[in-house]
């Protein structure tokens, strides 16, 4: 199954992508994680992407399209994949179509902007493995330490309140039109994000017929 997760930053795409990945045994691909890894390694890609990411802007289409193309060509994607954070613009969706990728389902996670602000400003991520926590809703067992790998958990620069506003703006203007794009193909399914992650997961799995 080839699946796209749509939704504002902080709508819970990453968390749900992990659950679906475990459930369906297909890889979850986050272009954001790939880019952050590149920034951390100081690679040419990372240098190119950093300023866009820090300001909450989108990295240019041709850069992310190339990343995605390379990633889905890998062996582990043969049985399908979950895209978390791609496509984020109509040209990216068109590029995916042009690659001949058949999409089975586009799941849009709906969460109000006010709730997103609260979620993202409390989010902490492991700087080593990328696991995600929240200071109120999903704290790590030991503050500042990742449960999964023992790495340090930190606030992402783009989770600072001013940047969150910019990212929401970018989402509404550049990414949200994808709902109309996929609605036309009949593949769009909408799920209302719930306060409890497990409740959202139940709705997501139901929407996927699992």
Chain residues in the site for ligand AMP (CB under 6 A) = 9, 30-32, 35, 52-53, 56-59, 64, 85-86, 88, 92, 158, 167
Residue 76 and residue 46 in contact, taking contact as beta carbons nearer than 8 Å? no
- What is 17-44 written as a DSSP string? HHHHHHHHT--EEEHHHHHHHHHHHT-H
- Among 13, 36, 71, 119, the active-site one is 13
Would you say 30 or 153 has its CB closer to ligand AMP?
30
Shortest reach from residue 200's CB to ligand AMP, in Å: 17
Active site residue 40: no
Shortest reach from residue 22's CB to ligand AMP, in Å: 20
Shortest reach from residue 209's CB to ligand AMP, in Å: 26
Would you say 59 or 126 has its CB closer to ligand AMP?
59
- Among 36, 88, 119, 124, the active-site one is 88
Long-range own/partner contacts, residues 171-175 (CB < 8 A, 24 or more apart): 171/8, 171/9, 172/8, 174/58, 174/88, 174/89, 175/6, 175/8, 175/88, 175/89
Shortest reach from residue 100's CB to ligand AMP, in Å: 19
Judged on CB neighbours under 10 Å (0-12, 13-18, 19+), 80 is middle
Active site residue 88: yes
Shortest reach from residue 185's CB to ligand AMP, in Å: 19
- Among 36, 71, 119, 123, the active-site one is 123
Active site residue 148: no
DSSP reduced 3-state for 116: helix
DSSP reduced 3-state for 121: helix
Provide the CA 3 distance to its chain's centre, in angstroms. Answer: 12
- Which residue minimizes CB distance to ligand AMP? 32
d(CA 150, CA 40) in angstroms, rounded, equals 18
Would you say 13 or 209 has its CB closer to ligand AMP?
13
Residue with tokens 């306060």: 195
Would you say 40 or 206 has its CB closer to ligand AMP?
40
Would you say 113 or 210 has its CB closer to ligand AMP?
113
The residues assigned a catalytic role are 13, 88, 123, 156, 167
């Amino acid at each position: 199954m080839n699946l796209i997760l749509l939704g504002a930053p902080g709508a819970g795409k990453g968390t749900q992508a992990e659950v679906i990945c475990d459930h369906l045994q297909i890889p979850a691909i986050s272009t954001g994680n790939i880019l952050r890894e590149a920034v951390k390694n100081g690679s040419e890609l990372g240098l190119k992407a950093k300023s866009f990411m820090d300001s909450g802007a989108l990295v240019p289409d041709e850069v992310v399209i190339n990343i995605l193309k390379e990633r889905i060509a890998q062996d582990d994607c043969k049985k399908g994949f979950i895209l978390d954070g791609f496509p984020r613009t109509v040209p990216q969706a068109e590029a995916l179509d042009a690659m001949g990728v058949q999409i089975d389902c586009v799941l849009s996670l709906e969460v109000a902007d006010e709730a997103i602000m609260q979620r993202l400003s409390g989010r902490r991520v492991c700087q080593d493995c990328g696991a995600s926590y929240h200071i109120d809703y999903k704290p790590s067992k030991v503050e500042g330490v990742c449960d999964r790998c023992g790495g340090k958990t930190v606030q992402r620069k783009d989770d600072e309140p001013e940047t969150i506003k910019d990212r929401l703006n970018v989402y509404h203007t550049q990414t949200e039109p994808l709902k109309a794009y996929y609605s036309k193909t009949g593949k769009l399914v909408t799920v209302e994000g719930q306060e409890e992650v497990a409740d959202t997961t139940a709705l997501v799995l139901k929407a996927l017929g699992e």
